Structure 1
């Protein structure tokens, strides 16, 4: 029987100290973001001065968590030269930063000696791991929450190793 996974926003609302996200794919095709990526490829650019057009519940959840004192960090391991999707993701990361996330980028060639989990994940308070499962094309097919000390420790260790080497968003050039 499939596991019932709480929403990301609910998990973030229960978070007290830290939420870290490790992304390791060079392309994603997740929900509305796939449509936004296609529009970006056609030349559409976000009007950052018109917050109502791009601010949505995800960003509000991040902002609320940061206001409560939760440190939210995201690290992305990317191949270089980067894919067109990563160029898009770099552009829209401004929204994550405005919401209060700290974001860094690590070129994949600098991650060779880091033991990385097999899947992207969120780690909440160094305890709960929310794993995202994707198809080869980047479509999210499943999520699971793991409450296991060993898995949390592996994910935390991997994230921190990536974070130490990664380039802050404002300094990473695509």
Structure 2
């Protein structure tokens, strides 16, 4: 299994743990948490926690996580291939970014993301300004590490218009 697939599986597992952790403590607006997860955490019992987590993941939750993974992977693949058409198709659920990124400036957008991935925030900020992208737009953009796109690769401004 290649590194990209292993990373995806690992991230999916982390998402599942985070989602179920939020659920265990009353997240997702349910008000009631998962008692088995809470008890396992209180008892510091990893085996019981794993069992509670696996029992709490619904088919619907898994489907949503798998769809998000597929979408993010399509976005990352399109960026790496410098393929505007594939990127535009992959981000159609987040149309606000297309207010700033067009086929004409897509290469600069990809360069901005690459600079961001490489930790060159100054270059990323300069390109963002050139594109008219407000620095800090999207979730966690004021955080020094930015948001994650492609699971493990920091991608500035990718989350613009994200539903969740």
Do the two structures share a fold, i.e. TM-score over 0.5? no
* Higher radius of gyration, 1 or 2: 2
**Larger relative contact order (CA 8 Å, sep ≥ 6):** 1
Higher helix share: 2
TM-score by length of 1: 0.25
Higher strand share: 1
